[in-house]
Structure 1
Amino acid sequence: MFSIAVQQQQYKTYILSDEGAGSQLEVVPERGGIITRWRIQGQEIFYLDTERFTHPELSVRGGNPILFPICGNLPDNTYTHNGQQYTLKQHGFARELPWKVTEQETGDKASLTVVLDSNEQTKAVYPFDFQLAFSYELQGNTLEVHQQYKNLSSTPMPFSAGFHPYFLCGDKTQLELEIPSKQYQDNQTKEIHSFDGNFDFSRDEIDFAFGQLTSQSATAIDNSRKLKLTLDYDDFSTYLVFWTVKGKEFYCLEPWSATRNSLNTGDNLTVLAPGASHTASIRLMANFF
């Protein structure tokens, strides 16, 4: 049996449930359309800094933030379009703005669709009319996110997009990662290194971008929690970013459609013709063993 309940917490929170599987998903549309919580049989899958979440002026650290219309940051937070310079903060604005709920479904799954429309605030930093529609689908131990990006402008619309999921992990030395790439770029040094499947978790911060992906699936096995996470994505995602901070109980494995600064460089940038739309999907599966 599937259900969707609404609770008024600090924000209106939609709780998607699969009672048969004992899985739950919590979505907060007005705080960036974000999934804040995913539980299976009482076990938390996502990390969430709950104290930080109570402060709307701070970015959310936890759950599954949405990245649009850029992934990562821009040099001096600026880009140029048609000779005009704009300011855009790291990861864009979609994760900070209120989204609205447009559809709910509780037939063979629990599904919630949230929508973000362009407005004067977005056009001041990103001069395009657009609509984003994301459907969150919960079924068993699987979470799917189906995305539609629509250009409502009269000119071509360039963008990149992705997700920033925070996975709960108390002992990162017990992680086994399978990322389908032979090399990564260290964002701190900008150096390229070969990848042998291991990370040095004694570092204060790890921020690695993996390109030239050889498959559309990555896995993370947390031996301390006996949890295997599988991330599947389509060809819209061309990069995976692994990020973590020493002393924090999370790691992030982020599917990005393009690398940092693509709005300036054009690398792997998606450009939608006027009136065109693009669809993409990711799937997360959590299996305890």
Structure 2
Amino acid sequence: MIDNTEHIKTIVLKNQEANTYAEVDLSFGAALKNLVLQGETIISKHNKKPFASSILFPFPNRIKNGEYKFNDELYQLEKGSPDIDSHNAIHGLVFNKNFTIERQTENEIALTYSQQTLEKGFPFTFDISVTYTLTMSVFHIEVVVVNTDSKAFPFALGWHPYFETSNLENSELAIKSTEKFLVDDRMIPNGKTAINWNDFETINNQAFDDCFKLSSNEIQLKTPDYQIKISSSSKNNYLQLYTPEDRQSMAIEPQTAPANCFNTQEGLQILQPDDVYKLQWTVELEGK
């Protein structure tokens, strides 16, 4: 079903028998605005936080001062807005782009965006497609990036979903990590500290705005209402966690590199001309 208005163009995937559906905003970076699996609200369309469920490309999180050097050439990206982050480039370049429909069935939609002009700070052309597939209890995302330029470019990928919870304090998160990034006052990594997170931990009153290097490609979230597993096909796995002030949701952001990867090179990948990169994320409802 396509709903066209002056400013919004959305696609809804449905499995009516299972009370499962997803809503995708084509006009805002193909972001997933709503996800309900077997009657459980996993991601809510009422969450209006910036970058909610955005695809983050060609970098996740931040690039310090919006500057980086690649192949001995200095580049300057646009910085964020005063109310988000006016010091750094933030969350990539496709979160606000208009995607078009490549193909559509009842439970799958393939969307694409083609960068044909040379963006400030990232003067390379590329195609990026996002395919969403919905079953009774599983939501699958595939991102495909094609370098259509005559030059190689650096990149990393991330996803910025906020997962709903009726009680964040009593929710639990399980990851496998031995390293957490330290950051400066502008949220740029400046070191790491050793940790031992290897099982479910209750959120309690913790406030997160932290990145972790993962030793597994799986994350589990258990709320009072549902339990999900988030998995990635990436070999390099990082996780940004953020708890908003209203504490009605939690940003659990899988990434292939941490913040400022264009400068540190940690997790950074290079895509050669005509090469293709594919990544899958899966959200699976457990226990039903």
What SS is found at the alignment partner of 1:263? Answer: helix
* Residue of structure 2 equivalent to 1:103: 103
Cross-structure match for 2:35: 38
Secondary structure in structure 2 of the residue aligned to 1:182: strand
1:85 maps to 2:79: no
Count of equivalent residues? 269
Shift of 1:186: 4.3
Q: Which residue of 1 aligns with 2:125?
A: 129
Runs (4 or more) in structure 1 with deviation over 3 Å come to: 47-50, 186-191, 195-203
1:288, CA displacement in angstroms? 5.8
Given the superposition, is the C-alpha separation of residues 67 and 191 from structure 1 closer, same or farther in structure 2, using an over 3 Å criterion? Answer: same
In structure 2, stretches of 5+ residues that fail to align are 79-88, 186-190
* Contact in 2 for aligned 1:128/1:157 (Cα 8 Å): yes
After superposition, the C-alpha distances for 1:40-83 in whole angstroms (9 at most, x for unaligned) are: 34432114455x47xxxxx34x3x21101111111122223342
Matched, 1:24 2:21: yes
User: 2:115 corresponds to which residue?
Assistant: 118
TM-score, scaled relative to structure 2 = 0.85
Kindly provide the amino acid, as one letter, of the partner of residue 98 in structure 2.
P
Counterpart CA distance in 2 for 1:40 and 1:144 is 12
What's the Cα RMSD here?
2.2
Kept in 1, the 8 Å contact 2:38–2:137? The answer is no
CA distance in structure 2 between the aligned counterparts of 1:287 and 1:87, rounded to whole angstroms: 41
Residues 126-172 of structure 1 show CA distances to partners (whole Å, capped at 9, x for unaligned) of 11110001100001110001111111111111101110111011321
| Matched AA of 2:282 | R
CA contact (8 A) 1:166 1:251 kept: yes
Q: Is the 8 A contact 1:236 1:280 kept in 2?
A: no
Cα pair 1:47 1:250 within 8 Å, conserved: no
Q: Distance in 2 between matches of 1:17 and 1:247?
A: 29
| 1:232-272 superposed Cα distances (whole Å, 9 cap, x missing partner) | 11124421121112323110111101111111222211101
Q: C-alpha separation between the residues in 1 aligned to 2:203 and 2:218?
A: 23
Name the SS for the 1:240 alignment partner.
Answer: strand
Q: Any stretches of 5+ residues in structure 1 without a counterpart?
A: 54-58
For the 8 Å contact 1:31–1:95, the answer to whether it is kept is yes
Q: Confirm or deny: 8 A CA contact 1:71 1:90 kept in the other structure.
A: yes
Instruction: Report if the CA contact (8 A) 2:147-2:274 is conserved.
Output: yes
Distance in 1 of aligned mates of 2:205 and 2:192: 19
**1:76-117 superposed Cα distances (whole Å, 9 cap, x missing partner):** 2222334232114201121111111111123xxx11011111
Paired with 2:34 and 2:236, the residues of 1 have a C-alpha distance of: 23
Distance (whole Å) between structure 2 residues aligned to residue 188 and residue 178 of structure 1: 26
Secondary structure of 2:277's counterpart equals strand
